[in-house]
Each structure stands twice: as C-alpha cells, then as structure tokens.
Amino acid sequence: MSVCAVKAITVTSMCGIIGYVGPRVAHAVVVEGLRRMEYRGYDSAGAAVITPDGISVRKKAGKIGNLDALLASDPLPETGIGIGHTRWATHGGPTDTNAHPHVSADGRIALIHNGIIENFATLRAELRAKGVEFSSETDTEVAAQLLGDVVAGGADLADAMRAVCLRLEGAFTLVAMDATDPGRLVAARRNSPLVVGVGEGETFVASDVAAFIEFTRHAIELGQDQVVDVTATSITVTDFFGNPAESHPFEVTWDLSAAEKAGFDWFMRKEIFEQPRAVADTLLGRFTPEGALTLDELRIPEAELRSVDKIIIVACGTAYYAGMVAKYAIEHWTRIACEVEIASEFRYRDPIISGSTLVVTISQSGETADTLMAIRHAREQKAKVIAICNTNGATIPRESDAVIYTHAGPEIGVASTKGFLTQVAACYLLGLYLAQVRGTMYGDEIAAVMSELASTPDKIQQVLESLDQITDLAARFIDTKSVLFLGRHVGYPVALEGALKLKELAYLHAEGFPAGELKHGPIALVEEGTPIFVVVPPQGRDQLHDKVVSNIQEVRARGALTIVLAEEGDDEVTPYADILFRLPKVSTLLQPLVATVPLQMFACDLATLKGFDVDQPRNLAKSVTVE
C-alpha cells in the first residue's frame, strides 16, 4: 500500500457547512451535503431556505437523524436556494437554540458559521445597546445580527459581509443569504476553509468538497480574507475591501471517501496536519485587551483557586501523558504540588483529597468511564474538578465544576493526535491562569510564555513540512519487533506517547522510559540494531541536555540504532545519531508540542506500510465508555 504523500494542509473544520443556489430542491441538496460530512460527528444540524414568505429554518440538536425526523414532520418548502450546517459546539452548548442557521432580528438574513469569533462579546454588547435581542449563547448569532444590522442600514449583502468581516476577530467561515434576494449567497473566510462547487447552472459553497462532489468536481478554493458572491450562474471573489481577488480553481480527483479526509489517506494523518490550527484555536481569545489571561469557561472563584494546596491530574492513555507533561509546567509556574494519576487506579488507592484539592481531568471525548468515575469520587471527597475536554456538552464537563475546552475540532482517528497537543496547550493555559491568580508569576512572565505558545502553531507547521524524512524512515522498520523511546523531563511523557502510538497502530512492542532509568535494568533489552528514539531537550538546560547525550552514547555503545530528535543547531548529538530529525527551537516546556509530531507520523506511516487500518486499529474504540 502506498503511503499517501500529501501536501501540508493546515485547514480544519470544526463544523460542516453547505450553501446551494440552482434549479434543484435546495433543502434536499443541503441535507444530503450535511450527511456527506456526517463523519465529523457533531452536536446539532440545521437548514434554511428562502421562500416567498421569507426565511424558513429547521434545526435540531443531536445527530442528523434528529433533523431528518423534524423535516419528515415539518418539511422545508421546495425552493432553489438554501444553507445547511452541522455544529461542533465551541461557544454555547449543543441545543436547538444554539444550532445554526441563525437569523437576524428582522428575519431577513440567515447565516451559518464555522470557526471561533474571538470578539463576539464586545460586538454583542454593542448590538444589545442598539436594542438587538439575542436568543442563543453563540458567537455565530452575533455575526448574524451584525450582518442583519448593516443590511437593514441599506447595504448590499456582499458589501455588508465585507464590512462585518472587517470587524470580526478570530477564525471564521460565514455563509449568508438575504430573504429579499433569493437567488444569491454570499460567503467569507478567514482561517477556516471554504470551497465553491461550480456546477452547470448551479453553485455550491461548502467547508468540504465532500458536500457537493456528487454534483460537480469543478471547484474553487478561496484564499484568506476573501468574500465570494454567488448566483446559480456567477461567482465573484473579492478581498474584504471589495477589490477583485485571485481565486484558485481545481478539479476534485478524490472519491467521496477520500473527500471526507480532504485528500488524506487517513483521518489520523489529516488530524496530524490540522494540529497547527487546532493549537491556534485552543489558544485563541485567551487574553483580555488589558493583557490578562482569561478562561471564559472557568467557573471556580479566584479565592478558591488561591486556596488550592494540591493538584491531582486524572486521565487515561494519551490524555494521561498530556497530564504528565502538564505537571512539569504547573509545578514550575504555580509551586503547587501536582500529582498525575491513571484514572482507573485513582479511586481504588483511597487518594488523599480535601476541599482544597483541585482535580484536573483530561479527556478528548469527555465520555471515558474511568475518568468519569474518578471525577465522581473526587467530588464525593469535596474536591473541585476542572475538565480539559474537546467535546462541548459531554458527560465529563457536565459533571465537573468548570471546563476548559480545547478547540481541536472533531478527532475521528482512534489514535489521538491533535487531541494530545491541544490538551497540553489547554493545561498550560490553566497553569498560567493559576499562576496569575496566585501571583506566582509576574504579568510579563505570563505574557512571555503566552507569546511563545502563540508561535508554536508555526513551529508545528515547520515540523509538518519536514515529515518526508519520517515516511522514509518507517520503511526501514517494516520488520521490526520492538522499539524503545527515551526522554527526560517533559520528553519522558513524549517518549511514552510515541510508544503508545506505535503499539496502537503498528501492533508493535514499544516502550518509553525516562532516559536516566535505562541503567537500572531496561538497558539489558538493548542489542545490535535495537531501534531507540531519543527526545533530546533544548541545549539551554545543560543538566538535562548533556545527560541525555550521555544516555544516547550508552545505548549506542551496546549496538542500538539511535533515532535522535534534537533542536536545530544542536551539533553535540550528531556523532551519536544514526538518524537525526531536527526540531524547531522552542523552550523546554514547549518541546512536547513539536517533538510529538514526528512520533505520531512514524506510527501512522509504519502502520500504513503494514497495511493496517490506521483510523480504526484492532481492539480499540475512540471513546472507552466502559470501566
């Protein structure tokens, strides 16, 4: 099986979006298009059409089957223009009211949105001051009401869209229609994807070619900060200032299944490439204009956070390794003792918990039974519980005192990738917030860490663009029976995560160790040709760096084949690296955000070469909802 060589695509869709204008029955095209994007999983679905009586909307929380049932009992009128949306909740729980499309107060504008509008609260206050009333908790409704307000002031829909886009901060794809102009859709994008499907006398706009691939393979990919104004027979692309803009026509060569993966061979590989955007979205909007760190979903009073005298992080699998990484940062920044526990062990060891214990649970799915049982035990012992979770409205956040959502978007591959990186990023936000509340870091120190965190998406992207080396490397290990991974400090959980990916995907024996532990027994495993990955800390911390270099020499002297991950410019490791993979320079605590990526890809490539199902590995499930 050939390894899919793909370009580094750094787009991600948290939601599914589609708009249609043409001779077909719009609601049928729209709902089928949403179904084509069903693989994403989502919290709600909705559709809207323009009729002679105005805009007609049907929307429902839950899977698309719930929308189907609603439409069966209360169908949308048959017209030639419509929009549809499946929501992966970010702001506001997965409810009927929060589902898209959202409609302006005067009922004239319907809008759908993918992404995060960072300054929605400020804009909402401005509109409320003008007497606009809101029915949902979403950032999207703010955009709909703002657009409606500008159109009501006399602006043309496309001009209004451009004016609104210039006021929005964050990541967004918007599609809107105006009840008084039933042959036209206007869409815009910044950071979230948008493609136009060019049919014969019909036009589609969507976040994903999967939505219209059965009707046309002629597509146009829109660039950053562009607005597209379409009818059934015309397409006009401008920038946000109304200047004509270049667009990029292309032919969709994928079949539907590949289209769902945006051309990647596996969802996991697509999600590895989505990591820059996922980390960026997780960090988005976490700083107030005054420069203070803010976590809008955190509902524990600062006074209680100041009284915390112990932190226990509880999670499973990859999420547990994210917690191990977080421990180093949280203890360093807050000076609070921080334990990290396997959830299935936690409540059976009769842990020492009190009202001043803060339990932090980490879970991508928010449904892991072991972690959920740990939360219940902790709360029975009066501890406060904060959830780090990627699934809005899941059981774990609902049963916690507070939640910090990662904004990785749906993670379809069973092996977690962007879930891990965004969990680390979210844990760092929590650590910095605790340091801010407790005064254990100065504001400028926090700002400095946030500034470097904000640069990590670009560093991750840099790693993504050098992964061909990893694909070549995987081919050398097709018959390997065992692989070891070594790291120190935050590199140790990275070693554990690298080993877990290889176990999960390539069904190989793989084991991660603290590099300093090898001489206490495991080094007996090393023989001629044993492949050993070593994560080398940045050179800034001589203690750690030099000791790891010694560990590499120890294993190499016993015949190991060393695959060394070290930062650019670190020439000390070169003599001992049989294979050297360069990492971008980052500070010690941030290295997991770049060092993990090659290990993810190695496991993905080796499993692909072995002909295994990377997205659904044997014996595993995406969410382990049994203890």
Separation in Å, CA 562 to CA 225, 470, 498, 533, 575: 45, 14, 15, 6, 11
CB nearest ligand AGP: which residue? 317
Identify the three-state secondary structure at position 620: coil
Give the pair of three-digit tokens for residue 57.
Answer: 């909307």
What is the nearest approach in angstroms of ligand AGP to the Cβ of residue 599?
12
Residue 596 near residue 465 (C-beta atoms within 8 A): no
What residue type is 124 in one-letter code? R
| Euclidean distance between CA atoms 479 and 475, whole angstroms | 9
Instruction: Give the residue from 276, 244, 265 showing the smallest Cα distance to 9.
Output: 276
Identify the three-state secondary structure at position 508: coil
Find the catalytic residue in 547, 585, 610, 622.
Answer: 622
Nearer to ligand AGP, 101 or 317 (CB): 317
Nearer to ligand AGP, 392 or 416 (CB): 416
Q: What does the DSSP assignment read for 516-550?
A: GGGGGTGGGG--TT-EEEEEPPPTTSHHHHHHHHH
Nearer to ligand AGP, 202 or 504 (CB): 504
Residue 391 near residue 361 (C-beta atoms within 8 A): no
Q: How many residues does the chain have?
A: 627
Q: What does the DSSP assignment read for 319-362?
A: HHHHHHHHHHHHHHHH--EEEEEEHHHHGGG-----TTEEEEEE
Residue 61 near residue 88 (C-beta atoms within 8 A): no
| Euclidean distance between CA atoms 324 and 493, whole angstroms | 6
Nearer to ligand AGP, 132 or 404 (CB): 404
Beta strand 384-389 with 402-405: parallel, antiparallel or unpaired?
Answer: parallel
| Euclidean distance between CA atoms 86 and 77, whole angstroms | 20
What number of chain residues touch ligand AGP (CB under 6 A)? Answer: 15
Nearer to ligand AGP, 171 or 314 (CB): 314
Beta strand 203-206 with 185-190: parallel, antiparallel or unpaired?
Answer: unpaired
Find the catalytic residue in 15, 165, 316, 338.
Answer: 15
Site for ligand AGP in 115-134 (CB under 6 A): none
Residue 458 near residue 433 (C-beta atoms within 8 A): no
Nearer to ligand AGP, 27 or 418 (CB): 418
What is the nearest approach in angstroms of ligand AGP to the Cβ of residue 581?
21
What is the nearest approach in angstroms of ligand AGP to the Cβ of residue 451?
28
| Euclidean distance between CA atoms 379 and 396, whole angstroms | 12
Site for ligand AGP in 387-446 (CB under 6 A): 414-416
Per the annotation, the verdict on 15 as an active-site residue is yes
Residue 207 near residue 173 (C-beta atoms within 8 A): yes
What is the nearest approach in angstroms of ligand AGP to the Cβ of residue 371?
5
User: Site mask, ligand AGP, residues 468-507, x = CB under 6 A?
Assistant: ------------------------------------x---
Give the pair of three-digit tokens for residue 455.
Answer: 């640069």
Residue 609 in contact with ligand AGP, rule: CB under 6 A: no
Residue 10 in contact with ligand AGP, rule: CB under 6 A: no
Residues contacting residue 7 through CB under 8 Å, at least 6 positions apart: none
What is the nearest approach in angstroms of ligand AGP to the Cβ of residue 491?
19
Per the annotation, the verdict on 604 as an active-site residue is no
Nearer to ligand AGP, 85 or 327 (CB): 327
What is the nearest approach in angstroms of ligand AGP to the Cβ of residue 492?
17
| Euclidean distance between CA atoms 533 and 274, whole angstroms | 24
Give the pair of three-digit tokens for residue 42.
Answer: 């989502």
What is the nearest approach in angstroms of ligand AGP to the Cβ of residue 321?
8
What is the nearest approach in angstroms of ligand AGP to the Cβ of residue 343?
8
Give the pair of three-digit tokens for residue 355.
Answer: 């009202």
What is the nearest approach in angstroms of ligand AGP to the Cβ of residue 534?
22
User: Site mask, ligand AGP, residues 530-549, x = CB under 6 A?
Assistant: --------------------
Nearer to ligand AGP, 216 or 371 (CB): 371
Residue 600 in contact with ligand AGP, rule: CB under 6 A: no
- 406: phi > 0 → left, psi -120 to 50 → alpha, else beta; which? beta
Residue 456 in contact with ligand AGP, rule: CB under 6 A: no
Q: What does the DSSP assignment read for 86-108?
A: EE--SSS-S-TTTSSPEE-TTS-
What is the nearest approach in angstroms of ligand AGP to the Cβ of residue 261?
18
Separation in Å, CA 344 to CA 338, 362, 370, 373, 575: 18, 13, 5, 8, 43
**H/E element, 150:** helix 139-152
φ, ψ (nearest 5 deg) of residue 198? -100, 105
| Euclidean distance between CA atoms 494 and 488, whole angstroms | 9
What is the nearest approach in angstroms of ligand AGP to the Cβ of residue 207?
24
Nearer to ligand AGP, 66 or 623 (CB): 623
Site for ligand AGP in 310-339 (CB under 6 A): 316-319
User: Site mask, ligand AGP, residues 354-373, x = CB under 6 A?
Assistant: ---------xxx--x--x--
Nearer to ligand AGP, 36 or 269 (CB): 269
Residue 43 near residue 89 (C-beta atoms within 8 A): yes
Nearer to ligand AGP, 143 or 415 (CB): 415
Instruction: Give the residue numbers annotated as catalytic, written as ranges.
Output: 15, 622
Return residues touching ligand AGP (CB under 6 A).
316-319, 363-365, 368, 371, 414-416, 504, 623-624
